[in-house]
Amino acid sequence: MSPEKTLNDLPLYNLAKLEKIARGNDAFVEKMIEMFLVEIPRAIVDLRTALMSNDFKGMHATIHKIRPAIENMEIYRLKEPLRELDKLALAGSDVKKMDTLVGVAEQVTAEVVRKLQKT
């Protein structure tokens, strides 16, 4: 099985880590989900905008801003693409690959948002 197939077989997200952090405070979990639904899509738009203007430092800053939310919600499909995107942004190289990775972030984020809004 290819690594890509393995990633796609994982759950889209997992709230277990967030629930553990919350220690039974359901209102906290709900607030974090609400913040995710607002802030992460904006940040992904910021990534695209930064890429289009070759603002690689801005891309790096945005990635570091969203990384905790991605990790706390265990969105594994974004973990490696964001890591690779960050490395490329720091190097200021391979804009075509960065474009592909931003596309992955856009797609996965949209999917997570849709599923979270249904719950």
Tens-digit pLDDT profile for residues 66-100: 999 999 999 999 999 999 999 999 999 999 999 99
Is residue 63's pLDDT more than 60?
yes
Report the C-alpha gap between 114 and 69 in whole angstroms.
Answer: 16
Tens-digit pLDDT profile for residues 24-41: 999 999 999 999 999 999
What is the reported pLDDT for 9?
A: 73
Number of domains in the chain: 1
User: Could you tell me what percent of the chain has a pLDDT over 70?
Assistant: 93
Report the C-alpha gap between 39 and 44 in whole angstroms.
Answer: 9
User: Could you tell me what percent of the chain has a pLDDT over 90?
Assistant: 88
What is the reported pLDDT for 78?
A: 95
- For residues 64-92, one letter each, b for 16 or more C-beta atoms within 10 angstroms of the residue's C-beta and e for the rest, the string is eebeebbebbbbbbbeebbebbbebbeee
CATH number for the domain spanning 43: value is: 1.20.120
CB 60 within 8 A of CB 90: yes
What is the reported pLDDT for 82?
A: 96
What is the reported pLDDT for 1?
A: 42
Q: Which domain holds residue 9?
A: 3-118
pTM for the model:
0.87
